[in-house]
Amino acid sequence: MELQDLLVVNVNTLDKTQPLVKVTVPAVDGNVEAGNLHKKVCNQLGLKESSLKCFSLFKEDVDHRLLKRIKENDILPVSSMNGMCIRKWCFNLKLEQELLLTDEVATHLLYLEAENLLENGKLLPTKEQEQKLDELSEPGFILERQFVEVCHNIKDYFTVCVKGCRVTSSSNETLNKTSSEQFISPVIVDKVCNIKIPWFCIRQWTIYPETVKFSYHMSVGLDWTLSVSSDQTPYLVSAINEMLKEYQVKNSESAAFHWSMVSKTDDGATLWENAVFDQEKAWKYYNT
């Protein structure tokens, strides 16, 4: 016999005027369906049905760092309801542009995301862009759609940032290399450096769930290894999977991923071979 209760869940937002969304969801045998919770939160915010796929629930810490994405098919214990938030989950420029034209609530949420990225120094506009953003955000007369459109042109808008992680590398030469060719990529940030690696340079990555350790293997004639340890690794893994989907949409000529590219290592980690790895392009990137 199933035992069902009604549970009030508080979900954090980036909106200073509405920092919490409260919804009531059924809890069956001490568990909550994440898909039902996600839909109720989105409906409470007033998002259109077509916009729901661009926003997701996450677990966050007290500093509002995203720790883990909550998938719609997840079953959540009642005891895990603290530290929930709703944030943008979209790495597709065209899709965001459509949201700006069709959904006022989504536009407001995208504006809050962009504002948060700027406030935290994750987006660094040029002086000209900064001046334009100031003009668009006059108190009482904020043009949110135009504000986000300017942010779309700021470098690294679709980049994921992992702060305060522990990074070890087999070559210091990887730490400051950047690429104008990269479409979207993770940014690993520790106390001393920013690390940006184009997708085509990544041969494979290995996920260690027990130690929350993430490894990159890059080909530059020889392979180098970059290991990342962070409590944000589950979020980073989800973001990388989503980013690669978008990368392949834009680069339709690239090879497709298939399950034979995923395997288990002897120590129980999950190893992903990178379908978009390009050895020749990687060699040119690191040697020009």
* Backbone CA torsion sign across 138, 144, 145, 149: positive
Predicted pLDDT at 212: 41
**Residue count (the chain):** 288
Predicted pLDDT at 248: 73
Predicted pLDDT at 254: 66
pLDDT-wise least confident of 148-157, 171-180, 202-211, 222-231 = 171-180
Predicted pLDDT at 1: 46
The answer to whether the CB of 45 falls within 8 A of the CB of 103 is: no
Q: Write out the DSSP string of 232-279.
A: THHHHHHHHHHHHHHHHHH-TTSPPP-GGGEEE-TTS-EEEE-TT--H
Burial of 89 (0-12, 13-18, 19+ CB in 10 A): middle
Scored b (16 or more CB within 10 A) or e, 58-71 reads: bbbeeeebbbbbbe
CATH architecture, range 4-88: Roll (3.10)
80-132 pLDDT, tens per residue? 999 999 999 999 999 999 999 999 999 999 999 999 999 988 889 999 999 99
